[in-house]
Copies of this chain bind each other. A is one copy, B any other.
Amino acid sequence: MTANDARHEAIRAAVLAILPETHSGEELRRFYDLLREYPRRSGKGIRGLATLLATEAHGAPWTHGLGAAAGLEAFQNWVLIHDDIEDDSDIRRGLPALHKKLGIPIALNIGDALHAYMWEYLLNLTFDHPCGRQILNEFVWIIHRTVEGQHLDLTWVEEGRFDIKEQDYLEMVYLKTACYTAIGPLRLGAWCAGLEPSWGFHEAGRLLGCAFQIRDDVLNLLPETTTGKEFAGDLYEAKRTLILAHLFAHASNRERQEIRDRLSRPRRERRAEDVDRILTLVNGYGSLHYAQEIAESLTREGLDKLRNSLPDPPDPSAFHRLESLFESVAIRSS
């Protein structure tokens, strides 16, 4: 077991400990069990791990960051349940999405329950914490931004927008992904160590978080690397990604019209041949390659900013592992 594995396991246990154990009534016992469904499925746990490493980098033991890390992973779990409904995704962490198992009504309600348990946990966690108020404020900020990014993402699909430019995309994923994936963990790590976060974390986290999302979009279109979701799900869901923005900017007028036609139908009317055809165009125009390059350049820039934000980290070894984590999730492994 590596050092990161031990931390992953501790976060996972802490997330499950947020949830109620059992109920005297059979139906609510089943309900409590369903609350554990997504937290039990093993995710990458990147946000929690980043929070612990950021706590350590600031000189505190990682256990000081465990509460915030668990809170952030609990947040991720309820968001994923609701996201999967919103995107009508089929698969999550290698198993059917919750609403595919239980229907939208019950799954939606389970997401709400997890949301409330997250707040209960955070209230208890921060009650006596010297930086409790600041930690709560970070969570408020993270959730507001994530939901705003989600609104843009959904609206673009809903309104059939095909005019999304690279800059629009980056602003959307700053909100949807970077705030809770990178900026939040960096800032939470500082507060958990009792220190005020460096101002530079915002820009460093923005770059690293955007890089993470772009890499995630790339992996989604590589059959061998799609992890726990359906291959090319982003195309079935007609997600406006950097890849699609690049393709649209380079395709011919006729191809643009074709892409528009194939992606404008409702999700369940999109066929494998639509997706295959768009994949062919994506590969033909090098849009995947382009997106990967951007992810790597944002990562390099983000890591530079991160180092400048904390030039003299109290725990240089933990700081280095934090850098490696952000690097590993955005840089091509092969």
Contact = CB atoms under 8 A, between A and B. Distances in A.
A162 interface: no
A104 interface: yes
Contact of A109 (B106, B110, B127, B151): B151
Contacts of A116: 140, 143-144, 147
A231 interface: no
Contacts of A127: 133
A87 interface: yes
A28 to B, nearest CB: 6
Given A112-B147, A147-B109, A151-B109, A104 B119 contact: no
B113 A85 contact: no
A261 interface: no
Interface residues of A: mostly helix, strand, loop or mixed?
A: helix
Interface residues of A, number: 37
A128 to B, nearest CB: 11
A144 B113 contact: yes
A237 to B, nearest CB: 10
A102 B112 CA distance: 20
A285 interface: no
Nearest to A142: B116
Interface in A54-108: 82, 85-87, 102-106, 108
A150 B111 CA distance: 12
A82 B103 contact: no
A154 B104 CA distance: 10
A148 interface: yes
B123 A154 contact: no
List of 4 A-B pairs having minimum Cβ-Cβ separation, nearest first? A86-B105, A116-B143, A113-B147, A120-B140
Given A109-B150, A151-B31, A86 B104 contact: yes
A155 B102 CA distance: 9
Contacts of A229: none
Given A87-B105, A110-B151, 4 more contacts: A28-B152, A85-B104, A116-B143, A119-B119
A27 B150 CA distance: 12
A139 to B, nearest CB: 9
Nearest to A157: B105
Contacts of A304: none
